[in-house]
Structure 1
């Protein structure tokens, strides 16, 4: 009897694994940590006694609960470590092909800009927000996962929504964002300050994550003028770098490549202008970006 019961539990975990990994990644912003969480859930499931397996009435809900609770524990520790991080901490970009199409997770929740905004929440609030917006869970369904009341969950969601209004803004279509990325690359290559500024919101911000491993701005760069000058300055110092366009986390992205260094850049749009630029340069975070990038032709000055 034991083998069929355990096999059944393992099969449930294997079937849910892509969705659980996406859930954990949405909670943590680091793919390796998400995989570790889901692997630990698998180990826990395999060790269940036959009577415990028999008592599980809803396997998707049970596995979601285990994954969420483990993610909360990992996130609490990670949030403390991230306060000591060198420079701005940004989520890890992931190759589009890594994201399972049938994971049942809302793709918009996986954008790097959304994952960054989620860092502003406490671990329980982030869990509630992710379960609600990524998986469509109601407050009543979230409550037992967090071992609290539906009213408490609704309060968490309300407070989180006030903090994360920008996360609810729909991103522009892929072709539009790709066009903006192409335009900004051409403008910085021409050192056309006005053209770069015209693509940016006046209160835009640029975050650069080098993690102390490569040179990067230690503090966010605020304002269209300062960002434009910063990006043109970087281009002048690296005239031979190649620029590629592709996708990470379901959104268009740029890859700046030169000997010994890569930078992945994504943007968040608001009101037709670039609101946020996220540049991930820490080599430890670029292992999952994949190889499907297209060289972007640069117009000669």
Structure 2
């Protein structure tokens, strides 16, 4: 039984992460599913059984997480994960922008959306996992799609995204204001998640001029910090280090007019797994 579960663990963690936006919580929840699996005895359809257990554990966690996030200090951002750590092929279903947008959804809408869009389950299968009717899941899926919108219309290649981010970082380090300005979209927005545990902007910063000032101020704060360019959630990102430990992780969103979003995590609790991974690199 242990081998069967371990064969499903990565997929279940990918499912839980998309539901919760937290890798640490996802791993804890999957471990709880393992304990239930160990007590269950013979299971006829292991993958379906485990998917149902994890989905419902996520629904319960999302209900309490929503209450916690209402009192969260400043913007709440998902915990970033390295792209190569995610087992699901559809990378766009784990993009940082989409995970942030999914906070708009009810727990049931989010569960149906993830099971349908990321894992390709039919409405009939999802109804069985969540103890709903087929009609319920279709309605929830349709409502989730409307709330999330159509998504970006322009998606540059990964190479183009990385080159733009490299140019942005070089201009930021050099204090090249004209260069930075040319790389920011007019409606660019920056979010900072400090969670009350690190200094961060308490509201989103919108507009090229305001974000430019924010970036220049951040560069001054970082001083001589080491910068590592990487990829989180299928998108270009950077990690900054001070005294050997990461203290910021920024995910960049790239659109047709340049950088359209900068999402920076400063909350040290959300950087623990990033630190662990990089310490082994």
With structure 2 as the length reference, what TM-score do the two structures score?
0.91
Specify the SS of the correspondent of 1:287.
Answer: helix
Structure showing greater Rg: 1
1:89 corresponds to: 76
Q: After TM superposition, where is structure 1 displaced by more than 4 Å over at least 4 residues in a row? A: 166-171
Per-residue CA deviation, residues 80-102 of structure 1 (Å, 9 max, x unaligned), is 10111111111111234433xxx
1:270 equivalenced with 2:262 (yes/no): no
Give the superposed CA RMSD: 2.2
Distance 2:19 2:89 in 1: 12
1:131 corresponds to: 115
1:284 equivalenced with 2:276 (yes/no): no
C-alpha contact 1:90 1:278 (8 A) present in aligned 2: yes
1:116 equivalenced with 2:100 (yes/no): yes
Distance 2:257 2:77 in 1: 24
Q: How does 1:213-232 map to 2 (within 5 A)?
A: 213-232=197-216
2:138 corresponds to: 154
Specify the SS of the correspondent of 2:81.
Answer: coil
Q: Which of 212, 233, 243 is the aligned partner of 2:196?
A: 212
C-alpha contact 1:21 1:38 (8 A) present in aligned 2: yes
1:31 corresponds to: 23
With structure 1 as the length reference, what TM-score do the two structures score?
0.85
Per-residue CA deviation, residues 167-187 of structure 1 (Å, 9 max, x unaligned), is 465743222111111111122
Per-residue deviation, 1:208: 0.5
2:168 corresponds to: 184
In structure 2, the CA distance between the partners of 1:82 and 1:213, relative to structure 1 (3 Å rule), is same
Q: Which of 44, 50, 68 is the aligned partner of 1:63?
A: 50
1:20 equivalenced with 2:7 (yes/no): no
In structure 2, the CA distance between the partners of 1:254 and 1:104, relative to structure 1 (3 Å rule), is closer
Unaligned runs of 5+ in 1: 1-6, 295-301
Per-residue CA deviation, residues 241-291 of structure 1 (Å, 9 max, x unaligned), is 222211222332111223476211111222242222110111111122222
Specify the SS of the correspondent of 2:249.
Answer: strand
C-alpha contact 1:268 1:277 (8 A) present in aligned 2: yes
